[in-house]
Amino acid sequence: MRMPTTAHFKLRRKQFLAAIDTPVLLMAGDWIPRNYPANPGPFRADSTFLFLFPDPEPNAAALFDPKDKSVTLFLNERTAADALWHGPSSSFAAVKRAIGVTRVAKRSDLAGVVKRQLGRRRARTLAVADPRATAEAREICGDKVDFADASRIGDPDLLLAVAKLRNHRLPEEVKEMRLAARITRDAHKTAMAHTRPGVHEQELYGHVEGTFAKHGCVQAYGTILSVRGEVLHNHDHSNEVRRGDLVLLDAGAELPSGYCGDVTRTWPANGRFNASQRDIYDIVLAAEETAIAMIKPGVRYGDLHFTAARVIADGLTQLGLMRGSADDLVESGAHAVFFPHGLGHLIGLDVHDMEGFGDLIHYPPGRTRSAQFGAAFLRLDVDMEPGMYVTVEPGIYFVPPILHDAALRKQFRGQVDFNKAERFLKMNSGRGFGGVRIEDDVMCTDRGHDVLTSDVPKERAALEALIGSAV
């Protein structure tokens, strides 16, 4: 299994030890059963654990002690039954040598070892998705961490220290992200090539998932593949793809190391954009490319969002769907009738990287989330730094519950032509126009940016050449 090197993980653990001034207990989490206990879902270690260790074992834990700079890794004992059902595993001595930690201890001794090593000192911890691991860490650390509550996921100083490290990518991590981007590209291209009127969404979904599996990857999040792209996180794949539909694919591969891609493309079922599809597509592409072009150290992510929103407002004004200056439309929030979400998010080991850490790390001191419709979904408003990795994903959607919302219609009646928008709901034999989203993954570099997913076709001509080419 391909992973960053031992030297890379040793450096990351050294950096983490230097960044903390109290002991820290980290939990990988265990298998989480799908239904009955012996039927586990696929194991996925917590991302901070993946950040510091190669290929973590289920139920692993680690104690970082800055006092003597030690790292103790706790692993399940090797039993004959495990060897029978799951195959052999390396001895503790072999793991210690391979990973380069101070010691490897029995997981069942976790509480006792922590107590003996720390005496009266207390360890901090981070809540993880596995509730049993979090409960154990709470007990051992006397900490009230809670995975479901972003304000209690861990001590704020600890979260900031982890975020600082995770946000600044090292070359081996960039290599992983490039690989995830390549596999994500292949999945998108396969889905495009197999698209034709009459195919079912689930068949295209199968091509996407099959591409991930062929490369030893899993989906980084529930793949969105739908002709109903106006439902932002649509996980249904039961529709037939029909002439006149737009197919929206939002999918990303996750490598065994945990690094992932998150790309969205939208294309016409029959291989040719019609006039309305072309008009809307070109506005979204212009918004995306304008925002991406701005990325460099020091640029505020919120400014990217509002610039993209102005490009969208301007484009929709030219089509007669909005009225007024782009500045006024974005100031009032009217653009959100068509672009109702934020421009994007951090990406890395979590597809929305460290979203569980809350706005503490997404909104620096002095900045808070807007309460305005649309901007309230802006997940990120940091100043870009070299090594930061973000998505840029504007969209335009014709969403019946938004366009028919009495309060929004009243609020924006002078700025949105709701009658004209209604015509988009009636297009495509009454199935509606749907939505267009275009998303790339962009790394901030010392001098500018690098679009790691730039090989996924998005120019209209490139898409048209590819659609249906495998059928």
Q: Find which of Mn ion, ligand GLY, none residue 201 binds, CB within 5 to 8 Å per kind.
A: none
Residues 207-226: x where in contact with ligand GLY by CB under 6 A, - otherwise, as a string: --------------x-----
What would the two tokens of residue 67 be? 């006092």
For 3, the 3-state DSSP assignment is coil
# residues near ligand GLY by CB under 6 A: 4
Minimum distance from residue 264 beta carbon to Mn ion (Å)? 7
Cβ nearer to ligand GLY, comparing 13 with 458: 458
CA neighbor of 117 nearest in space, from 125, 105, 127: 105
Q: Find which of ligand GLY, Mn ion, none residue 257 binds, CB within 5 to 8 Å per kind.
A: none
CA 126 – CA 108 distance, rounded (Å): 19
Minimum distance from residue 194 beta carbon to Mn ion (Å)? 23
CA 167 – CA 290 distance, rounded (Å): 23
Q: Is 288 in the site for Mn ion (CB under 5 A)?
A: no
Q: Residue 112 carries which side chain, given as an amino acid letter?
A: G
CA 341 – CA 326 distance, rounded (Å): 17
Minimum distance from residue 176 beta carbon to ligand GLY (Å)? 18
Residues 391-430: x where in contact with Mn ion by CB under 5 A, - otherwise, as a string: x---------------------------------------
Neighbours of 412 (CB within 10 A): 23
Q: Is 250 in the site for ligand GLY (CB under 6 A)?
A: yes
Residues in CB range of 97: below 8 A, 6 or more apart: none
Which phi and psi (to 5°) does residue 40 adopt?
Answer: -75, 150
Residues in CB range of 56: below 8 A, 6 or more apart: 28, 45, 49, 50
CA neighbor of 51 nearest in space, from 440, 445, 353: 353
Q: Is 262 in the site for ligand GLY (CB under 6 A)?
A: yes
Minimum distance from residue 439 beta carbon to Mn ion (Å)? 5
Cβ nearer to Mn ion, comparing 143 with 262: 262
Chain position carrying tokens 């484009």: 315
Q: Find which of ligand GLY, Mn ion, none residue 221 binds, CB within 5 to 8 Å per kind.
A: ligand GLY
Minimum distance from residue 187 beta carbon to ligand GLY (Å)? 13
Task: Decide: 182 and 212 in contact? Cβ < 8 Å.
Answer: no
Minimum distance from residue 130 beta carbon to Mn ion (Å)? 24
Minimum distance from residue 351 beta carbon to ligand GLY (Å)? 6
**Which of positions 377-396 make contact with Mn ion (CB under 5 A)?**
391
**Which of positions 306-365 make contact with ligand GLY (CB under 6 A)?**
351
CA torsion, ordered 283, 289, 295, 299, to nearest 10 deg: -20
What would the two tokens of residue 416 be? 């949105």
Strand partners, 63: 25, 72
Cβ nearer to Mn ion, comparing 203 with 355: 355
Q: Which residues bind Mn ion (CB under 5 A)?
A: 262, 391
Contacting positions for ligand GLY (CB under 6 A): 221, 250, 262, 351
